Amino acid sequence: MRLTMTLVALAAASAAADDKPAARAVDLAGVKLVWAERAGTPAAVEVASADELAKSKAFADDASRDAVRKRVDFGKEKLVVFAWSGSGGDKLTPAVAADGAKTTATFAYRAGATDDLRRHGLVFAVPKDAAVKVVRAER
| pLDDT tens per residue, range 46-57 | 999 999 999 999
Residue 51 makes CB contacts below 8 A (sequence gap 6+) with: none
Residues 63-94: pLDDT tens digits? 999 999 999 999 999 999 999 999 999 999 99
- Region 40-49: mean pLDDT is 92
What is the C-alpha to C-alpha distance for residues 123 and 129, in angstroms, rounded to an integer? Answer: 17
For 71, left (φ over 0), alpha (ψ -120 to 50), or beta? alpha
| This prediction's pTM | 0.82
pLDDT at 10: 36
Average pLDDT, the chain: 86
- Region 99-119: mean pLDDT is 93
